[in-house]
């Protein structure tokens, strides 16, 4: 009787922790400190244990959630994202006086939605998961209620997100109209059996689904909300949503487009080609012009979405493994970078202009060193993990014959190094401007530990990537 629940146990652990956080908040007296963050850690550890136990088991729940190794690998990435986010959130919640129960509960609910999205094998369940994760993220974006910018960013994100969900649902309706099913493997078989792969209905179905996914992974031209939402949210939330949402959305993206809609690949590969090229180019070029580090990282996040799309369009097994490894590396790196932005922020001042980082080396040498690691990894410098991740993505693209796309990728990657290096140069070679800069705060221990751990992970993955790469490559076989 309970065997049908096995595949959703990781989600249940996280959801339970979220509910515990919510109920704890309900019974918390005003101003009473309560260890709600650690509750989330307990839930995530439960999820990690159950993920490890489910590995290689191919458990299925209710026919719509499959804990195959691909989904479990993404779940593992999401658990890492969750743990690091909880650690870097703690000082923010404390400093800004955010409602801690709601903050952690929303973060955990959204994580549960992400995990569901990574393991769902039915279009309707994917849609459900998308909504669960998005609604929580919209609220988290605007969680600083007194901040005008927060409200604006959250509202923009909410409106555009609502539209994109509608597109996605409409796409599901067309898929159902074509095949009479929303289940991914049924859809795949029935699509393959159809005579044409590029009829108007097929194009509509694929196009509408593509809009929904492209919005969530902030691919150009659906990236407009990204810089505003990323800048408006507290940096800890930005780190969480830029990595978690990307991991979950790309997992479902790969699942839907490379299994269910694989028979229609002739119809969508060119469109995704253009999206990937536009995303890489625009993310990089506009990123160069930014003066705020948060906006710069937002555009860098857009560009990284482009590299992942490049892997998606390649479509072979190497590419699927490369997507998994890239998502892991990107998640850890970006969370580390946003962790640093988050600890340098004070209550009144964001301290997120590039010039605020001038002379960081002389005031906070460790932070400056860590930031260097993260930025080099984002830029794809060896020996950081970002280099290996990019290398695999480009190798997969060349292997699949997309040489031009790989060339665009390498070129934009070189250009992007310019704006990462600019921050590094600022940190090491400029003296702090005595007039304009504010004193930077001391670093809280927990967040500091999370940042150091992120840096160690990307160093490890950069120097000894073989084991994790093999896991990633092994987990894409048998994906539905």
Which residues of this protein are in contact with other proteins, per CB under 8 A?
1, 4, 15, 19, 22-23, 25-27
- Measure the CA dihedral 241/246/249/251, to 10°: -130
Q: How far is the CB of 472 from other proteins (least distance, A)?
A: 33
The nearer residue to other proteins, 136 or 275, going by C-beta atoms, is 136
Q: Residue 335: which region, alpha, beta or left (left: phi > 0; alpha: psi -120 to 50)?
A: alpha
The nearer residue to other proteins, 30 or 347, going by C-beta atoms, is 30
Q: How far is the CB of 1 from other proteins (least distance, A)?
A: 5
The nearer residue to other proteins, 7 or 308, going by C-beta atoms, is 7
Please give the Cα distance from 343 to 107 (Å, whole number). 19
Residues 6 or more apart in contact with residue 455 via CB below 8 angstroms: 336, 370, 373, 374
Please give the Cα distance from 134 to 248 (Å, whole number). 11
Tokens describing residue 437: 């800069």
The nearer residue to other proteins, 2 or 434, going by C-beta atoms, is 2
Q: How far is the CB of 19 from other proteins (least distance, A)?
A: 5
Q: How far is the CB of 57 from other proteins (least distance, A)?
A: 20
The nearer residue to other proteins, 27 or 31, going by C-beta atoms, is 27
Expressed in angstroms, the distance from the first to the final Cα of the chain is 25
User: Which SS3 state, helix, strand or coil, does residue 254 take?
Assistant: helix
Whether the CB-CB separation of 460 and 80 falls below 8 Å is answered with: no
Q: How far is the CB of 5 from other proteins (least distance, A)?
A: 9
Q: How far is the CB of 106 from other proteins (least distance, A)?
A: 12
Q: How far is the CB of 45 from other proteins (least distance, A)?
A: 21
Tokens describing residue 53: 């136990």
Whether the CB-CB separation of 191 and 179 falls below 8 Å is answered with: yes
**DSSP secondary structure of 345-375:** --SS----BGGGGTTHHHH-HHHHHHHHHHH
Q: How far is the CB of 124 from other proteins (least distance, A)?
A: 16
Whether the CB-CB separation of 16 and 117 falls below 8 Å is answered with: no
Tokens describing residue 445: 């221990």
The nearer residue to other proteins, 8 or 400, going by C-beta atoms, is 8
Please give the Cα distance from 396 to 388 (Å, whole number). 12
Please give the Cα distance from 470 to 155 (Å, whole number). 42
Pairing between β-strand 59-61 and β-strand 65-67 as defined by DSSP bridges: antiparallel
Please give the Cα distance from 153 to 246 (Å, whole number). 18
The nearer residue to other proteins, 15 or 165, going by C-beta atoms, is 15
Q: How far is the CB of 64 from other proteins (least distance, A)?
A: 13
Whether the CB-CB separation of 18 and 108 falls below 8 Å is answered with: yes
Element (H, E) at 272: helix 265-288
The nearer residue to other proteins, 61 or 89, going by C-beta atoms, is 61
Stated length of the chain: 480
Tokens describing residue 162: 């609502």
Q: How far is the CB of 30 from other proteins (least distance, A)?
A: 11
Q: How far is the CB of 23 from other proteins (least distance, A)?
A: 6
Whether the CB-CB separation of 319 and 312 falls below 8 Å is answered with: yes
The nearer residue to other proteins, 1 or 442, going by C-beta atoms, is 1
The nearer residue to other proteins, 15 or 218, going by C-beta atoms, is 15
The nearer residue to other proteins, 4 or 366, going by C-beta atoms, is 4
Residue 4: how many CB atoms within 10 A of its CB? 13
């Amino acid at each position: 009787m309970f065997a049908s629940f096995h595949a959703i146990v990781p989600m249940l652990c996280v959801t339970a922790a979220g509910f515990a956080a919510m109920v704890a908040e309900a019974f918390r007296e005003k101003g009473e400190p309560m260890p709600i963050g650690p509750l989330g850690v307990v839930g995530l550890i439960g999820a990690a244990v159950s993920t490890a136990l489910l590995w290689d088991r191919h458990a299925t729940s209710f026919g719509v959630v499959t804990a195959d190794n691909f989904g479990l690998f993404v779940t593992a990435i999401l658990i890492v994202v969750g743990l690091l986010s909880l650690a870097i959130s703690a000082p923010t919640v404390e400093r800004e006086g955010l409602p801690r129960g709601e903050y952690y509960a929303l973060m955990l609910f959204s994580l549960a939605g992400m995990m569901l999205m990574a393991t769902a094998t039915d279009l309707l369940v994917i849609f459900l998961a998308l909504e669960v994760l998005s609604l929580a993220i919209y609220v988290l974006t605007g969680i600083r209620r007194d901040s005008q910018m927060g409200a604006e960013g959250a509202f923009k994100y909410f409106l555009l997100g609502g539209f994109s969900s509608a597109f996605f649902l409409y796409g599901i309706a067309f898929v159902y109209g074509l095949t009479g099913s929303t289940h991914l493997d049924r859809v795949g078989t029935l699509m393959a059996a159809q005579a044409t792969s590029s009829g108007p209905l097929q194009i509509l179905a694929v196009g509408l689904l593509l809009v929904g996914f492209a919005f969530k992974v902030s691919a150009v031209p659906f990236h407009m909300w990204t810089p505003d939402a990323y800048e408006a949210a507290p940096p800890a939330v930005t780190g969480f949503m830029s990595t978690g949402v990307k991991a979950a959305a790309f997992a479902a993206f790969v699942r839907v487009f490379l299994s269910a809609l694989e028979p229609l690949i002739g119809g969508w590969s060119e469109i995704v080609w253009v999206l990937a090229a536009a995303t890489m180019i625009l993310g990089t070029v506009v990123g160069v012009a930014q003066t705020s580090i948060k906006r710069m990282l937002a555009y860098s996040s857009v560009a990284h979405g482009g590299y992942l799309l490049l892997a998606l369009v390649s479509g072979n097994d190497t590419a699927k493994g490369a997507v998994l490894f890239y998502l892991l590396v990107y998640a850890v790196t970006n969370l580390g970078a946003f962790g640093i932005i988050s600890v340098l922020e004070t209550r009144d001042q964001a301290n997120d202009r590039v010039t605020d980082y001038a002379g960081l080396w002389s005031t906070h040498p460790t932070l400056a060193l860590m930031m260097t690691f993260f930025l080099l990894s984002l830029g794809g410098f060896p020996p950081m993990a970002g280099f290996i991740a990019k290398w695999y993505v480009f190798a997969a693209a060349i292997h699949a014959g997309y040489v031009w796309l790989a060339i665009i990728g390498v070129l934009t990657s070189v250009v992007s190094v310019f704006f990462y290096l600019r921050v590094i140069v600022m940190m090491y070679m400029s003296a702090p401007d005595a007039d304009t800069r504010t004193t930077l705060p001391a670093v809280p221990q927990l967040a500091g530990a999370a940042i150091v751990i992120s840096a160690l992970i990307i160093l490890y993955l950069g120097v000894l990537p073989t084991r994790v790469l093999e896991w990633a490559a092994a987990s894409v076989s048998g994906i539905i």
